[in-house]
Every structure is written in C-alpha cells, then in structure tokens.
Chain A
Amino acid sequence: MLQILLLGSALAGLLAFLAGIFENEDSDAGSASNPNSQVQLAPQIEHLHRYYNKAIAGEPPQNALWAALAATVAYLLSARLGMDPIPGVILGSVLGALTASLLQGMYGSLAHISRIASMKNFKQMLYWDSLLSPLPLSMTYTFLSALCLTLLSFVIHGLLGSPFPVPLIAMFLGFTLGAIASSTGDVHYGAERLYQHYKFGSGIAISKQGDIDVKGEYGYRNSVDTPYFTLRFGGPVTGLTFGLLIFIDALSRISGGVWTSVILEFSIIALILIFIVFLEKYTRDKYGPFEEGK
C-alpha cells in the first residue's frame, strides 16, 4: 500500500510538473489570458502585429474544458475498449487529448479570425501566416497538457484513491492549473516578453500599455517565438508551482492519517511563507528603490 502511494505521489508530481509547463506555453503561444488585453490594445495605438490572438475564454474555464473533455473521452474508451487497464488508459488518454486539441484548434482559429477582424477599423490585417504557423504549435501544447492532466486524474483516482470520478478530477485540476498558470507564467509573457524593448527591472506603467514589441530578432515577431522565450522561465515556474501543489498534497497523505496530512501541509505552508519573506528581502536589496524621474 505504501509503495503504491509513493509511486502515485511521484508520478502525480511529475505529470503535474509537465502539465504546468505545457499549459503555460499553450496560453502564451495563443496570447490567451490576461496579456491578451495588451495584444488587443496594440492595433488601437497603431502597433500592427502578427501575434496569434486566441482567447477562447478565461484561462481556468478554458483549460478545465480541455481537461474534462479529454478525460471523459479517455474514461469512456478505457472502459469500452476491452484492453488491459494500463494500455487502455494510455490509449484512451491519447485519443481524448487528441479530441481536446482538435476542438482547441477549431475554437482558436475562429477566435483569432474574429478578434483580428474586429480590429479592421484600426487597419489591422488578418495575416494567414500569423494564424497558420502558431496554430499547430498551440494545438500540440493543448494535446500535451490535456494528456498529462488526464493521466494525472487517472493516477489520483486509481493510485491515490480519490472518491471522485476521473472526469470530475480532471475538471478540478484543469481549473486549478488554469488559475495557477494565468497568475505565474503569464507574468513572464505579459510583463517581459511583450515589452522587451523596455529596460529590464520595472513593471509596465498604465500609460505604456498596448505599446508591445512587434518586431522580433529577425523580422516581425510571431507567436511561435513566444514559447521559445517563456519556456526558459515562466513555464518551468508554473510547472513547479502546480507540481509542488499536487506532490505535497499527495505525499502528506502517505501516512494515512488525515490530521498528520493537515499538520504537515500547514508546516509546509509556514515554510513557504518564510521563504516568501526572504525572497522579498532579497529582491529589495538586489534591485533597490526606483530613482526619481526614471
């Protein structure tokens, strides 16, 4: 029993880490979530761009939809295919994630076309290459994140023993991951990648918003370049946050006692809060105050 729980926790942590990275890159490749406001604002201040601009819904409900759809298909197929449990679950999850990524591609391309078309008054063109080159990339990230979340739901249901059914766990996890990715990894895209022509080390003043970087290292920047940048930091931090959440939550339950788990979790929360204090002290000392007039 202990071995199963240990295996389940390790597997869950790993899958959650990967799902976090892929989900964040999916949102960055499509300019989804909060930084989407900047990409929409750009044509209004004469910054014509070639970003892929899909924002199907808020990131949490959108990701919950992909995860729940993939898990539902996987759950049905794994029950109906008549294969052994493990190959059945893996094959079902792949097909489920494929369904979710196809739906994402359809929604994404329609969202992009309609959003860009609504900017016609500001002379924003609908460039086909800005849709067709990032579309497969964004769909691939959706496929990977939906696959990881579906497998993770099976692990939490089967190995860790949650009483919830697999699709419901996938919806819960999809929502939580969407909330985490939209609040950690997206900052790296919204505050740094979109504004790389500004000096490193400051937030984006309200008056500068919309003044995004439309030119890349070579020619016009498109959304294929974005994950190339955000995968180096924003994605791994999102993965770390979600992976730690799932791993700590699963690991704290290994002893079997509910109260042990609660006490362990609250002690880890206290440690994290202490770390947050030191992190703030470190950044204040390192960067120092802003100088007047700059």
Chain B
Amino acid sequence: MDPITLMLFIIAGGVLVGVCVHFIPASAVGAMSASTGIATGPSMLSFGAGLSGILSASFALETGPVAMLASGAAGSTLMVVLTILGGNLVNAFGTGVPPVSGQTASGQSVLGSSTKDAITGWEQKPFVTPGTDGHGMPVQTAISGAIGGIIGGLGGAMVFFGVHYLFVPITQETAAISGMIAAGIFLINCVLPAYTLVGKTEGMFDRKMLRIPKTFFSCLIVSTFLAVIIYSVSTYASMGAV
C-alpha cells in the first residue's frame, strides 16, 4: 500500500482513539460507588480496551485491512462491555445499589432537563444515593461504552495496520515493533482527552461530549506529528540511511 495512505491511517486512527475516550464512561470515584461510570480513570480504561483490540487485530494481520479493523473493534468492545458487566455485578451484589446516571438524574446531561434513561426510559432521580453523583453503568452509558469500544478498537487497529505496513520493508520483527509503537500512539492519544474530561465522563450523554472538538484537534496535531516521524524513519531506513 502507498506509504502516504498508511500515514493517513495512523493519523485517522489516532484521532479515533482520542474520540473513543469520550464515549467510554469512566470515573475514579466510581470505586466508592459515588459516581456513574466504570471505576477507573478514562484514559487507563480506554488504553486497556485498546490493547485487547490490538491483540485481537494481531491475529488477523495477514487478512487485509477490513478484517483486521473489524477484529480490533470486536476485541475492544468485548473488553469494555465485559468490564461494564463486571462493574454492574459488583455494584448490584457487592454494594447493593442499582446502576443509575447521576448527571441525567440532575437534569444536566445533553438530554436537557429529562431525568429518564435515554434508551430504556427508566426514571433515574429516585435511585441515586443522596450525596453521590450516581453509581454503576445504566443502559445508556453501557451502550455508549460499546460504541466507544468500537471506535477505539477501530482506531487502534488502524494505527497498528499503518505502522505495520510502513515497517514491513525495513525489518523482520515487524509485528512486535509495530504492536509496541501502536500501543504507544494509543496511549498518547488516550491521555490527551484527560485534559478535557478532567477525570470523569458518563459517555455520550455527558455534557463533556461538547468538548470533543478540542480533543479532535489536539489528537490530530499529535498524531500527525507522530505519523510524520514514523513515515520519515521508514522512508529513510528503506533508502539505507538508518
């Protein structure tokens, strides 16, 4: 494939990774059942999901870009959805609270003043523990997480694909090196949205979704920079300069 197209793959993948973090509900205070979202930082959770996507995609390395991207998306989504299931199980039977969205309950989500779940239509407000910002992952955030997993997995697999085929002409151990570099680019793009999310998000119904343009541009700039470096290294190496 044309090296410029591969470079564009890296850039687009990096931007998708940044966007996916906005969709995956996560909040560190969730560990005390005091906030809606998976109980860990958004960046680290998305990175964990992305790595399982890259690992899945690596099995489909020889089957072409479309199958590889689909495989990566499936791996990431499976990780996010299973984590949501595990988190909800612990909240339901370990802590004894139903999953509920705090921001929707207080009428501050992108749904406006509605205090009902956007998908099931279940009332959220009476189920929030007083003094907390919700707990667990209700259906609307679970669906948002699944969408985030798909976007993140696609992004990770795109970066992996781009790096892999840029490095094929210059090294034997391509899978290992490209896996490592793809993980690095994934991590950088996962951490950038932490500045716009400030530690917590409830997914696509959170008001912080409106800050996506900031994430988009910062990830675009960083991914372009990284893609140009990888492209230059591969080009100069194939010319015998490195």
Contacts and interface: CB of A to CB of B under 8 A. Distances in A.
A182 B40 contact: yes
Size category, A interface = 35 or more
A249 B59 CA distance: 11
B166 to A, nearest CB: 17
Contacts of A275: 85
A183 interface: yes
A208 B131 contact: yes
Size category, B interface = 35 or more
Contacts of B81: 269, 272-273, 276
Given A240-B86, A253-B59, A284 B127 contact: yes
B142 A273 contact: yes
Interface of B: 26, 28-34, 38-41, 44-45, 47-49, 51-52, 54-56, 58-61, 63, 67-68, 70-71, 73-75, 77-79, 81-99, 120, 122, 126-139, 142-143, 146, 173, 175-176, 179-180, 183
Contacts of B34: 191, 203-206, 209
A179 B48 contact: yes
B contacts with A: majority SS: helix
Nearest to B67: A258
Contacts of B139: 276-277, 280
Interface in A239-267: 240-241, 244-245, 248-249, 252-253, 258-259, 261-262, 265-266
A106 interface: no
Interface of A: 33-35, 37-38, 58-61, 156, 160-165, 168-169, 171-173, 175-176, 178-180, 182-192, 194-195, 200-209, 233-234, 237-238, 240-241, 244-245, 248-249, 252-253, 258-259, 261-262, 265-266, 268-269, 272-273, 275-277, 279-280, 282-284, 287, 289-290, 294
A94 to B, nearest CB: 24
B33 A258 contact: no
B124 to A, nearest CB: 10
B129 A290 contact: yes
Contacts of B38: 183
